[in-house]
Amino acid sequence: MQNEAPQNSPQSTLSSLAEEAASLAAETVIPLGKGPGEEPVKPVNAKEERKLYASRQKVYPKRVNGRFRKIKWAVMICTLAIYYITPWLRWHRAGDIPDQAVLVDFQHQRFYFFFIEIWPQEFYYITGLLILAALSLFLVTSVAGRIWCGYACPQTVWTDLLIYVERFIEGDRNERIRLDKRPWTFSKLSKKVIKHAIWLLIGFATGGAWIFYFADAPTLLHQLPRGEAPFTAYFSLAFFTFSTYLMGGIAREQVCTYMCPWPRIQGAMFDEQTFLVSYHPTRGETRGPHKKGASWEGRGDCVDCNQCVAACPMGIDIRDGAQLECIQCALCIDACNAIMDKVGRPQGLISYDTEANLEALAKGQTQKVHLLRPRTLLYAAVISFVGLFMLVTLTTRDTVQLNVVRDRSPVFVTLSDGSIRNGYTLRVLNKEHQVKTFSVAVEGMPGALLVRGGNVDASVTTVTVPADFQQADKFFVILPKEQRSKLGSDGAVTMSFTLTDENGDKVAVGESTFRGPKS
- Rounded Cα distance, 303 and 336, in Å: 10
- Rounded Cα distance, 144 and 141, in Å: 5
Beta bridge partners of 450: 477
* pLDDT at res. 46: 67
Q: What end-to-end distance do the CA atoms of the chain give, in Å?
A: 143
Going from the C-alpha of 444 to that of each of 481, 493, 506, the distances in angstroms are: 17, 8, 15
* pLDDT at res. 452: 86
- How far is Cα of residue 301 from the mean position of the Cα atoms in its chain? 38
User: 124-144 vs 374-396: helix axis angle to the nearest 10?
Assistant: 160
Of 199, 198, 242, 236, the C-alpha closest to 220 is 236
Query: Is the separation of the CB atoms in 64 and 55 below 8 Å?
Result: no
φ/ψ of residue 408, rounded to 5: -105, -10
One-character DSSP codes across 46-93: -GGG--SS-------PPP--SHHHHHHHHHHHHHHHHHHHGGG-B---
| CB proximity list for 342: less than 8 A, separation 6 or greater | 29
* pLDDT at res. 3: 42
- Rounded Cα distance, 270 and 276, in Å: 9
What is the number of other CB atoms lying within 10 angstroms of the CB of residue 97?
A: 20
How confident is the model over 376-421, as pLDDT tens digits?
999 999 999 999 999 998 888 888 889 999 998 888 888 888 888 9
Query: Is the separation of the CB atoms in 325 and 256 below 8 Å?
Result: yes
Going from the C-alpha of 428 to that of each of 215, 309, 465, 494, the distances in angstroms are: 26, 63, 7, 20
One-character DSSP codes across 28-51: B-PPTTSSTTPPP---TT-GGG--
Q: Which long-range contacts (CB under 8 A, 24 or more apart) does 196-200 make?
A: 196/245, 196/249, 198/165, 198/169, 199/162, 199/165, 199/245, 199/248, 199/249, 200/241, 200/245
- Fold classification of 400-515 (topology level): Immunoglobulin-like (2.60.40)
User: 67-85 vs 331-343: helix axis angle to the nearest 10?
Assistant: 150
* pLDDT at res. 482: 82
* pLDDT at res. 61: 93
Going from the C-alpha of 414 to that of each of 246, 417, 442, 483, 484, the distances in angstroms are: 68, 8, 20, 13, 11
* pLDDT at res. 417: 86
DSSP conformational letter for 291: B
* pLDDT at res. 39: 72
* pLDDT at res. 458: 63
- Start and end residues for every CATH 2.60.40.10 domain found in the chain: 400-515
* pLDDT at res. 31: 62
Whole-model pTM: value is 0.79
Residues of the chain with pLDDT under 50: 1-11, 13-14, 17-18, 20-26
**Gyration radius from the chain CA atoms:** 36
